[in-house]
Amino acid sequence: MKKNLLVIAGISGSLCVALGAMGAHALKDKLPLENLQTYETAVRYQFYHTLALILVVILSDKIQSKFLNYAFSLFIAGIILFSFSLYFLALRPTMGIGNEEMKWIGAITPLGGVSFILGWISLSLSTISDK
pLDDT tens-digit series, residues 75-122 = 999 999 999 999 999 988 888 777 676 778 888 999 999 999 999 999
**What single-letter DSSP state applies at residue 93?**
G
131 has a pLDDT exceeding 70: no
33 has a pLDDT exceeding 80: yes
**What residues contact 126, with CB distance under 8 A and at least 6 apart?**
59, 63, 65, 67, 68, 71
The model's pLDDT over 1-21, given as tens digits with 9 standing for 90+, comes to 688 999 999 999 999 999 999
Output the pTM of the full model: 0.91
Cα separation, 12 vs 19, in Å, equals 10
